[in-house]
A = this chain, B = another copy of it.
Amino acid sequence: MTPGPGVHRTLLPKGFSASGVNCGVRRYRPDIGLLISDVPSVAAGVFTLNQCKAAPVLFCQKILPADNIFAILTNSGQANAATGTEGVERNLMMIDATAKALNCQREQVLVASTGVIGEQLHTDKILPSIPELVDRANDAAESFALAILTTDLVPKTITTSLNLSSGPIRITGISKGSGMIHPNMATMLGYILTDAKINKEYAHKVLKTATDLSFNMISVDGDSSTNDCCFIMANGASGVELKTAEDFAAFEKAVNEISIFLAKSIAADGEGATKLIEVTVKGSDDLEMARKGARGVTLSPLIKTAIHGEDPNWGRILARLGAEQVPGEQLAKMTLTMQGVKIFENGQPLTFSKPDLKALLKQSNVFIEVDLFSGTQTATAWGCDLSKKYVEINTEYS
């Protein structure tokens, strides 16, 4: 796999093109992007569980999964959430303009928005720019990946090729999200494109599994957005179908890996973050509990600040696992390691060299591993440290 960004280009799968331009909602940066499939494409989506859903989320939820989608439009700077009926209308105006430019139907265009909640879309700026978006589309992901960013420091793209039994396919992933971090600039967005030939039910299943392992296991600040969504589009342009068990396994593994790569990129790019934290809870008798425990550790401001300070503050990890209701009898026999150093075992703290562990915590990737010795379930979650920069960015918005 070739992770982006860099001087290289992230090539899209066959039959896809992408673009991004500045329409004037933001001062200079590209603020509107388009992904296009030359042919009607299978598409599926997973969406925020927030009860306050943005207009574009409600629109896409109604349509997906589908097998006749031509494009995904995305604007950044305005979330079109908590905008009432006018927000719904302006969302449709944006979609209709895209459908017109692509010469297709309203129901063949998907849409996502990210930015300030509660502001009406600047359709006066967005609508006139849509034909330009269509004109500028090319075979690389970069322009789109840049246009969808909010407080992210880097665009997030990755692409891979697989040789399946009937031929080669490509899968490309693009995401944005610096956590749900800026008080006005929210949202995690993910896009996975492939030229493999699959049906919409399978697309949805693969996407659901991949997001549960990846985007649903990251957190920067514990707030879940009104606009979160992740899409998969499979246009079949390679002509290659998945046929053998190996084909399916290889495809699913690649989508999972791409999703995890994109998710980790989001956590590492968390506002003010200096370290990526990876927490694995294994040996659990309950997958949901393992997930909850691992996520809980990545959510704790106490653990996040301790890691920012490179402080081997392991007691807080145990406390958080207990707060997440990992059963007491499992905590009593668990082992805890940080950066590979075993710290706690059989209900007792171990003797270890604090200076040595402090030195290991200077690395930009911090690994925390918990083994509960109670079963075979494992979950991994990713987060980032909490720095003064986070507070600065989120305090000094106005």
Instruction: Indicate the member of A186, A223, A310 with the most B CB atoms within 10 Å.
Output: A223
State whether the Cβ of A319 lies closer than 8 Å to any Cβ in chain B. yes
State whether the Cβ of A5 lies closer than 8 Å to any Cβ in chain B. no
Would you list which residues of chain A between 370 and 398 have a CB under 8 Å from chain B?
A: 386-388, 390-392, 394-398
CB-CB contacts of A277-312 with B at 8 A, as 1s and 0s?
000000000000000000000011111011011110
State whether the Cβ of A101 lies closer than 8 Å to any Cβ in chain B. no
Given contacts A221-B300, A223-B301, A306-B397, 11 further A-B contacts (CB under 8 A): A49-B323, A51-B321, A53-B328, A85-B347, A117-B318, A183-B305, A184-B315, A301-B390, A305-B391, A387-B395, A388-B388
A314 to B79, CA, bound (A): 14
Q: Which residue of B lies closest to A313 (CB)?
A: B183
B302 adjacent to A51 (CB under 8 Å): no
List B contacts of A118 (CB < 8 A).
314-315, 318, 344, 349
29 A-B residue pairs with Cβ-Cβ distance under 8 Å, sorted by A, are: A51-B321, A51-B326, A52-B321, A52-B322, A52-B323, A52-B328, A53-B322, A79-B315, A81-B315, A81-B319, A83-B348, A83-B349, A84-B346, A84-B348, A116-B315, A117-B318, A183-B305, A183-B306, A184-B313, A221-B301, A221-B302, A222-B299, A225-B319, A301-B301, A305-B395, A309-B396, A310-B398, A387-B395, A388-B392
State whether the Cβ of A331 lies closer than 8 Å to any Cβ in chain B. yes
State whether the Cβ of A129 lies closer than 8 Å to any Cβ in chain B. no
A308 to B349, CA, bound (A): 38
State whether the Cβ of A226 lies closer than 8 Å to any Cβ in chain B. yes
List B contacts of A391 (CB < 8 A).
305, 308, 386-388, 390-391
Given contacts A52-B328, A184-B313, contact A394 B223 (CB under 8 A): no
A52 adjacent to B331 (CB under 8 Å): yes
Contact residue among B119, B183, B226, B309 (Cβ-Cβ distance under 8 Å from A395): B309
Closest-CB distance, A359 to chain B (whole angstroms): 12
Q: Which residue of B lies closest to A322 (CB)?
A: B52
List B contacts of A82 (CB < 8 A).
315, 318-319, 344, 349
Copies, count: 2
List B contacts of A50 (CB < 8 A).
319, 322-323
Would you list which residues of chain A between 322 and 336 have a CB under 8 Å from chain B?
A: 322-323, 325-328, 331
A331 adjacent to B51 (CB under 8 Å): yes
Contact residue among B49, B84, B305 (Cβ-Cβ distance under 8 Å from A347): B84
Would you list which residues of chain A between 67 and 120 have a CB under 8 Å from chain B?
A: 79, 81-86, 116-119
List B contacts of A322 (CB < 8 A).
50-53, 226
Q: Which residue of B lies closest to A345 (CB)?
A: B84
A245 to B396, CA, bound (A): 53
State whether the Cβ of A205 lies closer than 8 Å to any Cβ in chain B. no
List B contacts of A388 (CB < 8 A).
388, 391-392, 395
State whether the Cβ of A316 lies closer than 8 Å to any Cβ in chain B. yes
